[in-house]
Amino acid sequence: MSAMHHPSARSGEVSIPGARVRYLREGVGTPCLVVGSSIYHPRTFSPPLRERLELIFVDMRDFVPRDPAFDLSQVTIDTYATDIDTVRQALGVDKMIIAGHSAAGLLALEYARRYPHYVAGVLVIDAPPIGTRDLQAASDYYWQTEASEERKSILERNWSAITEDEWAQLDPSAQIVRAYIANAPKYWYDPTYDPGWLWDGVTLHSDSWEHLAGRLFATYDLAQGSAPIAAPGLVIHGRHSYIVPYTLWEREKGKLPQVTLHVFDSSGHTPQLEEPERFNQIVMEWVHHLSQ
23 CB neighbour count, 10 Å cutoff: 19
Question: How far is C-alpha 12 from the geometric centre of its chain's CA atoms?
Answer: 21
Question: What letters, b where the CB count within 10 A reaches 16 and e where it falls short, cover 186-195?
Answer: bbbbebebeb
**For 37-87, how does the pLDDT look when each residue is reduced to its tens digit (9 = 90+)?**
999 999 999 999 999 999 999 999 999 988 988 999 999 999 999 999 999
Q: What is the pTM of this model?
A: 0.95
Topology of domain 10-135+201-290, CATH:
Rossmann fold (3.40.50)
User: Residue 3 — very low, low, confident or very high, per pLDDT cuts 50/70/90?
Assistant: low
- Determine the Cα–Cα distance for residues 139 and 74; give it in Å rounded to an integer: 30
Q: What single DSSP character describes residue 274? A: H
Average pLDDT across the chain, whole number: 95
Torsion sign, CA atoms 89, 91, 95, 100: negative
- Considering only CA atoms, which of 221, 208, 253 is closest in space to residue 75? 208
225 CB neighbour count, 10 Å cutoff: 13
Give start-end residues of each CATH 3.40.50.1820 domain in the chain: 10-135+201-290
**For 85-118, how does the pLDDT look when each residue is reduced to its tens digit (9 = 90+)?**
999 999 999 999 999 999 999 999 999 999 999 9
Strands 19-27 and 53-59: antiparallel
At residue 237, does pLDDT exceed 70?
yes
At residue 8, does pLDDT exceed 80?
no
**For 147-188, how does the pLDDT look when each residue is reduced to its tens digit (9 = 90+)?**
999 999 999 999 999 999 999 999 999 999 999 999 999 999
> What pLDDT score was predicted for residue 155?
98
> What pLDDT score was predicted for residue 9?
87
- Considering only CA atoms, which of 292, 263, 258, 268 is closest in space to residue 278? 263
- The DSSP result for 80-125, as a single string, is HHHHHHHHHHHHT--SEEEEEETHHHHHHHHHHHH-GGGEEEEEEE
- Considering only CA atoms, which of 120, 117, 95, 99 is closest in space to residue 109? 99
